[in-house]
Amino acid sequence: MNNAKVAIVTGSSRGIGAAVAQRLAADGFAVVINYAGSAAAAETVARQLLQQGGQALAVQADVSDPAAVRALFDAAEQAFGGVDVLVNNAGIMLNATIADTDDAAFEHQVAINLKGSFNTLREAAKRLRSGGRIVNFSSSVVGMLQPSYGVYAATKAAVEAMTSVLAKELRGKNITVNAVAPGPTATDLFLNGKPQEVVERLAKLAPLERLGQPQDIAATVAFLAGADGGWINGQVLRANGGII
């Protein structure tokens, strides 16, 4: 009999998702490490959690594919007996002005950030156990609305909308739905392609004058997924050092 609560963390082979997986495992969750292409990295995260005495399973699934998402939930249920927490972390960012965004960049961001979140939310709405928690991923760019973030910010604004709607639709099920909206955080998604001086300038924007670390965001997710976050529902929690 497995008494641990079970969390699926999408996109947890790297970056914030890997830190969330580490933190939830340390907090006693059995964790499903989802990834799209980085099998070796995901297996390394899973192996570390097992070595630390946790329960973990790496499962490949492209969140933009509804059948793959169903199979992801099937795998979690088969391995651990059910699902209590969904952390909808998988996401991509392709920065360009609206004038310069080609169709492929638009469709790729919508497919993973918006449709991917929808696919997992639909599954979670049907399958999470009572007491469950859903933590979506938005971004502080929804508040900052800088040039070149148009499509990315639009996908994250849509995730915030679904967060509020699903929280209401799950009335009576004892499941909370919230979103975390990080500011600039030191991962591949933020750092790749940015010159060092741009990284340093963006790091200084927040009053706390540093980039977020994946562990900062993992702590925010752990709060919403754990006992202390139980009364928070339908909210967007910006975790960004005060940048907005």
Ligand X SMILES: NC(=O)c1ccc[n+]([C@@H]2O[C@H](COP(=O)([O-])OP(=O)(O)OC[C@H]3O[C@@H](n4cnc5c(N)ncnc54)[C@H](OP(=O)(O)O)[C@@H]3O)[C@@H](O)[C@H]2O)c1
Q: Does the protein bind ligand X through residue 54 (CB under 6 A)?
A: no
Residue 55 vs 89, nearer CB to ligand X? 89
- Determine which residue in the list 6, 7, 8, 16 makes contact with ligand X, applying CB under 6 A: 16
| 3-class SS of residue 177 | strand
**149 tagged catalytic:** no
Which of 7, 30, 35, 133 binds ligand X (CB under 6 A)? It is 35
Closer residue to ligand X (CB): 91 or 150 = 91
**Residue 85 near residue 6, CB atoms below 8 Å:** yes
Q: Is 63 an interacting residue with respect to ligand X (CB under 6 A)?
A: yes
With CA atoms as reference, report the closest residue to 146 among 158, 156, 136.
Answer: 156
| Neighbouring-strand partners of residue 7 | 31, 85
Residue 80 near ligand X by CB under 6 A: no
**Residue 135 three-state SS:** strand
- Left (φ > 0), alpha (ψ -120 to 50) or beta: where does 11 sit? left
Output the DSSP codes for 67-111: HHHHHHHHHHHHHHS---EEEE---------TTT--HHHHHHHII
* Per-residue binder mask for ligand X (CB under 6 A), 138-157, x = binder: -x------------------
Task: Kindly state whether residue 29 participates in binding ligand X, applying the rule CB under 6 A.
Answer: no
* Min separation Cβ 70 and ligand X, Å: 14
Interaction site with ligand X (CB under 6 A): 10-17, 34-38, 41, 62-64, 89-93, 112, 116, 137, 139, 182, 184-185, 187-190
